[in-house]
Amino acid sequence: MTGGAGFIGSHVVDAFLAEGADVFVIDDLSTGSVDNVSGAAEFARVDIVDEPALAEALAAFGPDLVCHLAAQASVTVSVERPEHDLAVNVRGTLNVCEAARAAGAPVVFASTGGALYGNEAPLPTPEEFPPAPLAPYGASKQAGEAYVSTWGRLHGLPNVVLRLGNVYGPRQLPHGEAGVVAIFSDRLGRGEPLVVYGFGEPTRDYVHVSDVARAFVAAAHAGRPGTFNVGTARETSVRELLELLQREAGTQVEPDLQPLRPGELNRSALDPARIERELGWRAEVPVERGLPETFRAFVPA
């Protein structure tokens, strides 16, 4: 599993371990931490951009399945440094596809939902809607999807693309636009000021990390190729999200309202009908439960 020391990846590791699988984690620790990795999993510090090191590590383990979650995941960083985004999310994904092919293992790829579909998509957005990303991050994930799907067809492997909503939960880092729940929780717990972009109006499809981990397991068990949204079909505005967290924190902080940054979406929600129908997966944690639980994980009583 690439990116297995990160926020989402470490939860996916735990889900597979709970299934009794042997898990090998590859991570360069640029954003992940070995503290997130269960002692029951093997670990190697490898950068997916380093093709020889990646190929050697995967060949030595001999995987039956490769879950690929390592990525440059910041929209704003992708705008500022598109060449870095290209190297990690496109070249790195190609390296993973090649190493997995050599091992005869299918790939389950963590892609993006909202950042891929763009602002003109119907809501909730089905997988059939043509991608129209607004930032290099979405473009690089679209390219990664193309390699994963093409390698699957070319080499007869049941590769899977999972288009994730805005994932939140324990272990998320409190920085970067993708980590807004962690950022707000951390700042509310510390009594620090808050900046809310888009004046609190943008919406996202917030999906709990435990539900996302179950989606990876469902994809592995299905053993069939496909592209699937992993979301709730529900829009939650940043303002609503902050209200739920403040209710749990017992605070009434007035945030600093700012316009959206370049490349960020106005609205997003994913249609999960296909994954429910074909893989039997459905999100189980509503934001009314997941957000307070996440706040308590960041700010213990």
**What does 103-144 look like in DSSP terms, one character per residue?**
HT--EEEEEESHHHH-TTS-SSBPTTSPP--SSHHHHHHHHH
Structure tokens at 234: 């529900």
Question: For residue 198, which of 113, 257, 134 has the smallest C-alpha distance?
Answer: 257
Catalytic residue among 137, 147, 168, 197: 137
Picking from 240, 238, 237, 242, the residue whose alpha carbon sits closest to that of residue 187 is: 242
Q: Can 137 be counted among the known catalytic residues?
A: yes
d(CA 199, CA 245): 17
**Helices assigned H by DSSP within the chain:** 7-18, 51-61, 75-80, 82-86, 92-103, 114-117, 136-155, 180-190, 209-222, 238-249, 273-279, 287-298
The secondary structure element, H or E, covering residue 197 is strand 195-197
What is the residue type of 284?
A: E
Spell out the residues 6+ positions from residue 108 whose beta carbon is closer than 8 angstroms to its own: 65, 66, 67, 68, 159, 160, 162, 216, 219, 220
Q: What is the largest CA-CA distance in the chain?
A: 56
Residues 209 and 256: beta-carbon distance below 8 Å: no
Residues linked to residue 138 through DSSP beta bridges, in sequence order? none
Which amino acid appears at position 256 of this protein?
Answer: D
d(CA 161, CA 110): 6
Catalytic residues: 137
